[in-house]
Amino acid sequence: MPLNQTHDPELRSWVASANNANSDFPIQNLPFAIFRRKSDNSTNNEAFRAGVAIGDQILDLAAVYKANAFPKSLAPTLHTLTQPNLNQVMALGSSEWSRLRLQLSQALSQGASEETELKACLVPQSQAEYDLPAHIGDYTDFYSSIHHATNVGKLFRPDNPLLPNYQWVPIAYHGRSSSIKVSGHEFHRPLGQLKPPHKDTPVLAPSQRLDYELEVGIFIGTGNDLGHPIPLDEAENHVFGICLFNDWSARDIQGWEYQPLGPFLAKNFASTISPWIVTMEALAPYRQAWTRPADHPQPLPYLDSEQLRQQGALDMHLEAYIQTPLMREQNAPAERIALSNFNHSYWSVSQMVTHHSISGCNLRPGDLLGSGTMSGASEKSVGALLEATHGGKKPITLTNGEQRTFLADGDTITLKGFCQHSNAPRIGFGDASATVLPAMKM
Counting Cβ atoms within 10 Å, is residue 83 exposed (0-12), middle (13-18) or buried (19+)?
A: middle
What phi, psi does 414 have (nearest 5°)? -125, 125
The whole-angstrom separation of Cα 342 and Cα 390 is 22
Q: 163 with 153: CB under 8 angstroms?
A: yes
Of 7, 79, 147, 148, the active-site residue reads 148
Burial 108-133 (b: 16+ CB within 10 A, else e): bbeeeebeebbeebbbebeebebbbb
Query: Of 56, 53, 57, 74, nearest to 65 (Cα)?
Result: 74
The residues, any chain, with a CB within 8 Å of residue 197's CB and separated by 6 or more, are: none
Is 148 annotated in the active site?
yes
Q: 272 with 432: CB under 8 angstroms?
A: yes
Q: How far is CA 252 from the centre of its chain?
A: 25
What phi, psi does 21 have (nearest 5°)? -60, -25
Widest distance between CA atoms in the chain:
74
Q: 342 with 371: CB under 8 angstroms?
A: yes
Query: Of 262, 277, 380, nearest to 25 (Cα)?
Result: 277
Q: How big is the CA angle at 32 (ends 118 and 268), to the nearest 5 degrees?
A: 150
The whole-angstrom separation of Cα 283 and Cα 7 is 9
The residues, any chain, with a CB within 8 Å of residue 346's CB and separated by 6 or more, are: 144, 145, 146, 149, 166, 167
Q: How far is CA 304 from the centre of its chain?
A: 24
Q: How far is CA 16 from the centre of its chain?
A: 27
Distances (CA, A) of 382 to 39, 376, 404, 406, 432: 39, 6, 15, 14, 18
Q: Where would I find the beta strands (DSSP E) of 198-248?
A: 203-206, 210-211, 214-220, 239-246
The residues, any chain, with a CB within 8 Å of residue 414's CB and separated by 6 or more, are: 320, 321, 322, 323, 334, 431, 432, 433
The whole-angstrom separation of Cα 12 and Cα 26 is 8
Q: 240 with 314: CB under 8 angstroms?
A: no
Query: What are the catalytic residues?
Result: 148
